[in-house]
Amino acid sequence: MKARIPCTVGSLVLALVAVGCAKLPREEPLAVAPVRFDERELRQISNFFIVLDASSSMRKKKTFPRAKALATSFVMALPDESERASSRSYNASFIAFGGKDRLELPLQPFDRHKLLAAAESAALLGSPLGTGGMSPLHRVLAEIGQQVDVESRDTAVMLFTDGLPDQPEKALAVARELTHDRKICFNGIQVGSAAAGAEFLRKLAAISPCGSSRNAASLGSAQDVQRYAKSVMVGTAPLPAVAAAPPASCAATIRLRGIQFGFDKAVVDDAGAAVLDAAVEVISGCPGARLQVDGYTDSTGSDPYNQGLSQRRAAAVRDYFVSKGMAADRIAAQGYGKDNPVAGNETPDGRARNRRVELSVHD
C-alpha cells in the first residue's frame, strides 16, 4: 500500500505549521454488518474500487471526516466471499487521492482487514502541510482503467467526494472512454451540498445504466449504508429447473424488493431502477402472474396531497415495468398515502423508509 505522510514539520515556522497541520475532527464509521443476500439474490459485481476524495476542497468545507467514515462503513458492508456469488472470489481496491499523491491498495483479492487498514490510514493528500491538494479525478479514473482489463467482470467504482473535481468535463470523458469496452458502474456519494457537485455526480452515474448518485445525508444509519451497498451489488439468481414437475405458484415462490423515493418525489432514480430491473427478470419467469404495486408516503403534508403523491409513485413504478415490456393489464397500481408505515415518522430515517413502493405477485 502506497502512502504519503500528509504533514511534515521540518524547518517551517510554528505559525505556518499550526495552520497546515490542524486536524479535522474524526468521525467514527457506522457499525455495518457485511451484506447478506436473500435466496434469489447473488453478488453481480466482481471488482470494487472505493475511492476517497482527500483534496483541499474536502478540508475547506470540513467534509473529509464524514467521507472517510462513510468509505470505511462501506468496506464493512462488503459481503464475505462465500456469500452467494456468481463466482467464488472478487477483487477490491481502496484509493485516496489529492493532487499527485495517492494512498492506494491496488486491486487484489478481497481482504477486509487490508481495506479497513487503508481506510483508517487515509488523510488529506496533495500538500506537505496536510491541507490537501487539487482534485484530479480524471487521472484517478484513468488509473482505475489501467487495473481493469477488457475481459474483467462487472466493476463498481464507489466515489466519496464533494463532487467538485478540477476538470469535471475531462473526468466525464475519461469515464465514458472506460465504459466503451468494459462494464463499469460509477456510484457517487456526495458529502456536502454544492449544487454543481450533485450535478456532476448525476452525469457521472448516467454514463452507465448501473450507476447511481446520492447525498451522504441519505446514509445516516448502518441500515442505510447496508441497503445502498446491497443495491449496488445485487443480482438475481435463475430459477432452478425441475424436470417433469408442475410449475410452482409465483405468488408462493417470488419475493420482490420495493424501492424508496426522495422527499416529495415520484421519480424512479438509478438505484431504484437497478432493483426494478432485477424484478423484471424474475417476473418474466412467470408469464401468467399479476403484479401489485402499492405506493406510500411519510406523514409530512396533508392527507389529500399524500394520497395523490403515493398514487403517482405507484404509477411511476407501473410505467417503468411497462417500459420494460410487461403488459399494462398485468399490473395494478394503488396509492395508500401515509397508511401502513414501516417505521416511525419522527426521524429522517423513518420518514425515508416510509417513502416507498412495495411489490407483490399474485397468480
Is residue 101 within 8 A of residue 4, CB to CB? The reply is: yes
Per residue in 323-354, pLDDT (tens digit) is 998 889 889 999 999 998 988 999 988 899 99
Could you tell me if 255 and 125 lie in one domain? no
Residue type, 66: R
Residue 131: per-residue pLDDT: 74
Residue 85 covered by a domain: yes
Predicted TM-score of the model (pTM): 0.62
Residue 115 covered by a domain: yes
Residue where a domain terminates, one of 208, 236, 264: 236
Between 148 and 5, name the one with better pLDDT: 148
Residue 21: per-residue pLDDT: 42
Find the angle CA(357)-CA(80)-CA(119) to the nearest 5 degrees: 90
Residue 21 covered by a domain: no
Cell digits of residue 339? 397508511
Mean pLDDT of all residues in 264-283: 88
Could you tell me if 255 and 232 lie in one domain? no
Residue 296 covered by a domain: yes
Could you tell me if 85 and 147 lie in one domain? yes
- Longest Cα pair distance anywhere in the chain, in angstroms? 83
Question: Does the pLDDT at position 261 exceed 70?
Answer: yes
Residue 318 covered by a domain: yes
Residue 270 covered by a domain: yes
Mean pLDDT of all residues in 155-182: 94
Residue where a domain terminates, one of 209, 236, 263: 236
Between 306 and 181, name the one with better pLDDT: 306
Residue 8 covered by a domain: no
Give the up-direction half-sphere exposure of residue 117: CA atoms within 13 A in the CB hemisphere: 8
Is residue 7 within 8 A of residue 129, CB to CB? The reply is: yes
Could you tell me if 208 and 346 lie in one domain? no
Is residue 224 within 8 A of residue 349, CB to CB? The reply is: yes
% the chain with pLDDT above 90: 58
Element (H or E) spanning 304, and its range? helix 303-323
d(CA 306, CA 340): 13
Q: Where are the beta strands (DSSP E) in the chain?
A: 41-43, 47-53, 91-98, 101-109, 155-161, 184-190, 212-215, 234-236, 259-260, 290-295, 331-335, 356-362
d(CA 354, CA 3): 43
Question: Does the pLDDT at position 115 exceed 90?
Answer: yes
Residue 168 CA to its chain's centroid (Å): 20
Rounded (10°) CA dihedral 79, 31, 64, 19: -140
Residue bearing cell 470494487: 48
- Cα distances from 257 to residues 38, 188, 274, 280, 327, in angstroms, run 10, 22, 11, 11, 20
What letter does residue 221 receive in the DSSP assignment?
S
Residue type, 308: G
List the beta bridge partners of residue 291.
Answer: 331, 361
Residue bearing cell 469515464: 175
Decide the pairing of beta strands 101-109 and 91-98: antiparallel
Could you tell me if 221 and 267 lie in one domain? no
> Terminal CA-to-CA distance of the chain, rounded, Å?
55
Count of structural domains within the chain:
2
Domain CATH number, residue 357: 3.30.1330.60
- Cα distances from 72 to residues 115, 213, 359, in angstroms, run 8, 18, 32
Could you tell me if 188 and 305 lie in one domain? no
Is residue 87 within 8 A of residue 81, CB to CB? The reply is: no
Question: Does the pLDDT at position 111 exceed 70?
Answer: yes
Could you tell me if 143 and 120 lie in one domain? yes
Domain coverage including residue 310: 250-362
Could you tell me if 156 and 184 lie in one domain? yes
Domain CATH number, residue 62: 3.40.50.410
Could you tell me if 259 and 228 lie in one domain? no
User: pLDDT tier at 241 (50, 70, 90 boundaries)?
Assistant: very low
d(CA 102, CA 122): 9
d(CA 269, CA 345): 22
Is residue 35 within 8 A of residue 54, CB to CB? The reply is: no
Could you tell me if 156 and 265 lie in one domain? no
Mean pLDDT of all residues in 182-186: 90
Residue 262 CA to its chain's centroid (Å): 15
Residue 184 three-state SS: strand
Residue 245 covered by a domain: no
Between 28 and 248, name the one with better pLDDT: 28
Residue 18: per-residue pLDDT: 36
Could you tell me if 126 and 225 lie in one domain? yes
Find the angle CA(31)-CA(35)-CA(41) to the nearest 5 degrees: 165
Question: Does the pLDDT at position 189 exceed 50?
Answer: yes
Residue 288: per-residue pLDDT: 76
Could you tell me if 79 and 106 lie in one domain? yes
Residue bearing cell 479525478: 137
Question: For the chain, what is the mean pLDDT?
Answer: 84
Per residue in 6-53, pLDDT (tens digit) is 433 333 333 333 334 446 789 999 999 998 887 777 788 889 999 999
Mean pLDDT of all residues in 279-286: 81
Other residues' Cβ atoms within 10 Å of the Cβ of residue 311 = 18
Per residue in 51-83, pLDDT (tens digit) is 999 999 999 989 999 999 999 999 999 998 776
Residue where a domain terminates, one of 203, 236, 269: 236
